[in-house]
């Protein structure tokens, strides 16, 4: 029952032994010469970044000495997984989320995405937190699943409930949104192929996350009416995008991708399907660039509305866009107007309009908390300079205030409408990321306010439809009990309200209460 252990007497170096692994494991050169010649150097190796000076180094040293070639072609050198407190994971400290609870609540795809998309695959360390895992669900898994649910909801309801069998179709689309979606999907395949071929897994995750943001927050949101109108092009475009995305995402989100792909295609498994061919998709760089710029304009305009406390459903009179190459955006003015709920969008080329013409100027704000530790008491000199106009920005981008150079984190440059400019109190401005700027007319007239109230009621009626369990195609009779101001706004925009909510009969009942009461009931057309 007892054994005797003896220490190996002659040890050259333990790393020498590890570095000999490619040969020792197959008893080369005494056996398996043919196999070894076709399998060395290795295609891929992965280990902790500390092995750079250990195992990785010795593998290369021996391979170079013996064969004059590297030991492997590709490597992923990962960092360290740390507990929620930033310390090394410890069973005794329990400083990490319970794995069973995470898998039961969020699923294994969430955990996999959290790891694959993290800096750990680029040599950085990773702090494991429940919030980090849930962020993957919120940012990636739920958006993908919600788009799939949206697609099935409308295709199943098409043709009076008979449904529509969407198909893979890569061209023949007339709507620019469909063309943009398909071009973007082709770019996704190309970019993810390049990232995965270079073993940049977290880079592939970045590509997928960005694409899903475009799909959910731009294409689907901008196309809702077309799906309601049972557009065959919209059905086929979204089907093609979803089927393709489920294939490229299969290695990153294996379970969600499997469920979506099998439901869409009826196939056996997405993991047995071929990788998509990017060449099947139309390439349209000009359209993609223009639409991306449109999204930047809309994002900037939305930020201006938010800063002015102007809700999205409140229509505004005008947005002026001054940007380089504004002619390329001419066909998208209606998209910007609809997205931002603006009556009129004016596009001007940056070469023919300057910020000064609109009374726009930049304002320097010094962050005393950030600059104080470095500048000491001189921070007051910089603040005084920023307020008196004694500041400048050099051609190299260096900001100087009161004769003192500031670090980038020590200040912010704000774009504002000068107080002396005409109509300054009813305008807001902001710089566009790609150059140029936008000016938003923030004046709210009684007519605009009434339409905004009506749009608020549209949202409330839609919620009432949902609460009543009605189908998206059901026609309804709507009764609104509210104060006279709300009812006046409702009646002044009755056409809008009826069209948006599928209301055939709109009844109004005056009441003293400021909180509207809405009832809906299904009715026949």
| pLDDT tens-digit readout, 296-333 | 999 999 999 999 999 999 999 999 999 888 888 988 99
- 182 and 73 fall within a common domain: no
Report whether 21 contacts 42 (CB < 8 A). no
The answer to whether position 389 is within a domain reads: no
What CATH number is attached to the domain comprising 486?
Answer: 3.30.2320.20
Residue 22 falls inside a structural domain = yes
Q: Both tokens of residue 262?
A: 């099998």
Q: What is the pLDDT of residue 192?
A: 97
80 neighbors 124 (Cβ within 8 angstroms): no
User: The pTM is what?
Assistant: 0.81
User: Which residues lie across from 429 on neighbouring strands?
Assistant: 439
Asked if 339 and 218 touch (Cβ cutoff 8 Å), the reply is no
Let me know whether 50 and 141 are in one domain.
no
Cα–Cα dist 314/337, whole Å: 12
One domain, residues 252 and 147: yes
- pLDDT value of position 355: 78
Task: Kindly state whether residues 72 and 144 are assigned to the same domain.
Answer: no
Closest among 353, 351, 317 to 337, alpha carbons compared? 317
Q: 223 and 156 share a domain?
A: yes
Whether 137 and 271 map to the same domain: the answer is yes
pLDDT for 425 equals 66
Under the banding of pLDDT at 50, 70 and 90, the label for residue 419 is low
Average pLDDT, the chain: 90
336-345 tens-digit pLDDT = 999 999 999 9
Question: If you average pLDDT over each of 74-83, 236-245, 291-300, 490-499, which comes out highest?
Answer: 236-245
Residue 79 contacts residue 126 (beta carbons within 8 Å): yes
**In this predicted model, what pLDDT tens digit does every residue of 381-418 receive, in sequence order?**
999 999 888 988 887 888 999 999 999 999 988 777 76
Q: Is the pLDDT of residue 480 over 80?
A: yes
Q: Does any domain span residue 221? A: yes
The domain tally of the chain equals: 3
Same domain flag for 145 and 266: yes
Q: Are residues 44 and 135 in the same domain?
A: no
Q: What is the mean pLDDT of residues 141-168?
A: 94
* Domain around 468: 446-522
Residues 52 and 143 in one domain: no
Tell me the C-alpha to C-alpha distance, in Å, between residue 420 and each of 163, 358, 406, 417, 447.
60, 11, 28, 8, 28
Residue finishing a domain among 62, 78, 94:
78
- SS3 for 101-169 is HHHHHHCHHHHHHHHHCCHHHHCCCEECCHHHHHHHHHHHHHHHHHHHHHHHHHHHHCHHHCCCCCCCC
Q: Are residues 145 and 59 in the same domain?
A: no
Q: Are residues 66 and 201 in the same domain?
A: no
Looking at residues 499-516, what average pLDDT do you find?
A: 89
Q: 335 exposed, middle or buried (CB, 10 Å; 0-12, 13-18, 19+)?
A: buried
Residue 51 counted as domain residue: yes
Q: pLDDT at position 313, please?
A: 93
**Between residues 380 and 53, which one has the greater pLDDT?**
380
User: Does the residue 244 lie in any domain?
Assistant: yes
More confident residue, 419 or 447: 447
pLDDT per residue as tens digits for the range 68-115: 999 999 998 888 888 888 888 777 778 888 888 888 888 899 999 998
148 and 45 housed in the same domain = no
- Residues 253-281 have pLDDT tens digits of 999 999 999 999 999 999 999 999 999 99
Among candidate residues 78, 101, 117, the one where a domain is terminated: 78
End-to-end C-alpha distance for the chain, whole angstroms = 89
pLDDT score of 418: 64
pLDDT tens-digit readout, 460-475: 999 999 999 998 888 9
């Amino acid at each position: 029952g007892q054994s005797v252990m003896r220490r190996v007497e002659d040890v050259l170096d333990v790393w020498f032994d590890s570095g000999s692994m490619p040969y020792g494991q197959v008893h080369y050169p005494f056996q398996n010469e043919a196999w070894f010649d076709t399998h060395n150097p290795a295609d891929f190796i992965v280990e902790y970044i500390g092995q750079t000076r250990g195992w990785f180094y010795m593998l290369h040293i021996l391979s170079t000495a013996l064969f004059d070639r590297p030991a492997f072609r590709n490597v992923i050198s990962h960092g360290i997984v740390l507990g929620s407190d930033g310390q090394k994971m410890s069973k005794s400290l329990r400083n990490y989320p319970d794995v069973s609870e995470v898998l039961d609540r969020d699923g294994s795809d969430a955990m996999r995405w959290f790891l694959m998309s993290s800096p750990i695959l680029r040599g950085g360390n990773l702090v494991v937190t429940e919030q980090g895992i849930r962020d993957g669900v919120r940012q990636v898994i739920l958006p993908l699943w919600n788009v799939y649910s949206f697609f099935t909801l409308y295709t199943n309801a098409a043709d009076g409930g008979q449904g529509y069998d969407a198909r893979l179709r890569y061209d023949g689309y007339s709507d620019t949104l469909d063309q943009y979606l398909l071009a973007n999907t082709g770019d996704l395949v190309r970019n993810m192929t390049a990232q995965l071929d270079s073993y940049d897994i977290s880079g592939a995750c970045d590509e997928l996350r960005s694409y899903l943001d475009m799909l959910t927050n731009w294409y689907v949101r901008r196309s809702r009416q077309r799906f309601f109108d049972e557009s065959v092009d919209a059905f086929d475009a979204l089907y093609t995008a979803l089927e393709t995305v489920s294939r490229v995402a299969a290695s990153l989100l294996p379970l969600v991708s499997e469920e979506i792909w099998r439901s869409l295609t009826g196939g056996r498994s997405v993991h047995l399907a071929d990788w998509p061919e990017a060449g099947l998709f139309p390439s349209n760089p000009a359209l993609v660039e223009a639409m991306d710029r449109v999204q930047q304009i809309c994002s900037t305009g939305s930020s201006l509305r938010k800063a002015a406390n102007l809700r999205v459903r409140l229509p505004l009179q005008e947005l002026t866009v001054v940007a380089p190459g504004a002619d390329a955006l001419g066909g998208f003015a209606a998209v910007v107007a609809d997205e931002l709920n603006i009556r009129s969008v004016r596009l001007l080329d940056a070469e023919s309009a300057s910020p000064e013409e609109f009374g726009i100027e930049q304002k320097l704000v010094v962050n005393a908390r950030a600059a104080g530790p470095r500048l000491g008491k001189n921070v007051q000199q910089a603040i005084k300079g920023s307020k008196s106009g004694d500041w400048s920005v050099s051609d190299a981008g260096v900001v100087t205030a009161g004769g003192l150079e500031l670090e980038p984190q020590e200040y912010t440059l704000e774009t504002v409408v000068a107080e002396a400019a005409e109509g300054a109190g009813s305008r807001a401005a902001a710089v566009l990321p790609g150059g140029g700027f936008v000016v938003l007319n923030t004046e709210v007239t009684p007519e605009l306010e009434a339409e905004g109230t009506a749009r608020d009621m549209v949202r409330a009626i839609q919620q009432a439809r949902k609460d009543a369990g009605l189908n998206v195609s059901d026609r309804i009779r709507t009764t609104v009990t509210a104060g006279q101001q709300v009812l006046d706004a409702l009646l002044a925009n009755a056409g809008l309200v009826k069209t948006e909510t599928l209301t055939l009969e709109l009844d109004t009942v005056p009441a003293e209460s400021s909180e509207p009461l809405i009832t809906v009931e299904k009715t026949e057309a």
